């Protein structure tokens, strides 16, 4: 396939490289990032998109996605598919999809899970919203860039799945960190707590697979001085998107709101920026009342 790839940063770069390695013709555009191996540089986003069967975007936020979409949609040929892999607000995803479809294009919102490691290894999970036909067109590319692609529904459903999942993740991580900090103060050994909770009704992915306590459970960022697998500021971004969506949809998400508030304080007022989102544990351990 002829592929245009716009946004070649930490995530987009390795994704584009994997597509090129698989034999696809990839033209890339980024304002700052270097071209990955095998990817041809385009001078503009429009040049990357023109003549492409599929245009993939991996961008920082909804406002930038809207701006890029406005630029590239007129350059794309009818029947081509615009597939956005960024994590953005649901309203932006739906607005861009409507604009693409009005121009005779397919449109998908396909945010990812798996981080930079998954992008490099080609083991991402894609949560995809859009038409069956557009999904079928891009599925072979998802299979190269990732290990799983779930078609979640119509436009916006991919973003909805991502932010609902990550709202659960943020809330659960805070609860797990609070529980370890409480266990410490009660004199309960962390390993003993893990042994009980990981096989009892309190078990969760944050406890069993990504334990925030160093030396407990499988290896996690906690064992690497909380260097990010998933940075706290990215969790804050996703929690803010969940609350924006909740407001837009008139949904009641008090725990999601509280998690967003706590991560905001951690990132903006404390030492959370650039640390893994599980570094909430030392934050709770060190915190004094008042």
Catalytic residue set: 162
Instruction: Give the length of the chain.
Output: 290
223 φψ region: left (φ > 0), alpha (ψ -120 to 50), beta (else) = alpha
Name the residue with tokens 């309203």. Answer: 91
Show the tokens assigned to 232: 């706290």
The C-alpha atoms of residue 57 and residue 11 are separated, in whole angstroms, by: 10
Residue 109: its H or E element: strand 106-109
Residue 93: how many other CB atoms lie within 10 Å: 29
The C-alpha atoms of residue 127 and residue 270 are separated, in whole angstroms, by: 32
The C-alpha atoms of residue 93 and residue 96 are separated, in whole angstroms, by: 5
The C-alpha atoms of residue 179 and residue 183 are separated, in whole angstroms, by: 6
The C-alpha atoms of residue 51 and residue 76 are separated, in whole angstroms, by: 6
CA distances from 214 to 144, 172, 191, 225 (A): 34, 18, 10, 8
Name the residue with tokens 């508030």. Answer: 261
Do residues 142 and 149 make contact, with C-beta atoms less than 8 angstroms apart?
A: yes
């Amino acid at each position: 396939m002829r592929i245009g790839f716009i946004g070649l940063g930490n995530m987009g770069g390795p994704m584009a490289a994997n597509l090129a390695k698989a034999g696809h013709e990839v033209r890339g555009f980024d304002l700052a990032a270097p071209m990955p191996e095998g990817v041809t540089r385009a001078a503009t986003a429009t040049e990357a998109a023109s003549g492409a069967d599929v245009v993939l975007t991996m961008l920082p936020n909804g406002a930038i996605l809207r701006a890029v979409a406005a630029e590239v949609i007129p350059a794309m040929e009818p029947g081509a598919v615009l597939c956005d892999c960024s994590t953005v607000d649901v309203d932006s995803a739906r607005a861009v999809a409507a604009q693409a479809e009005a121009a005779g294009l397919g449109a998908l919102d396909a945010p990812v899970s798996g981080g930079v490691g998954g992008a490099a290894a080609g083991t991402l999970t894609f949560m995809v919203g859009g038409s069956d036909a557009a999904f079928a067109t891009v599925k072979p590319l998802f299979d190269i860039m990732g290990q799983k692609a779930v078609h979640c529904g119509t436009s916006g459903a991919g973003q909805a799945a991502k932010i609902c999942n990550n709202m659960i993740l943020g809330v659960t991580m805070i609860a797990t960190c609070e529980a370890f900090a409480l266990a410490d103060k009660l004199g309960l050994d962390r390993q003993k707590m893990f042994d009980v909770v990981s096989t009892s009704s309190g078990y969760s992915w944050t406890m069993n697979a990504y334990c925030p306590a160093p030396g407990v459970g499988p290896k996690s960022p906690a064992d690497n001085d909380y260097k990010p697998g998933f940075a706290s500021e990215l969790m804050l971004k996703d929690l803010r998107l969940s609350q924006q969506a909740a407001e837009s949809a008139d949904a009641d998400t008090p725990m999601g709101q509280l998690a967003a508030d706590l991560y905001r304080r951690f990132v903006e007022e404390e030492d959370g920026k650039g640390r893994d989102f599980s570094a909430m544990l030392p934050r709770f351990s060190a915190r004094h009342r008042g």
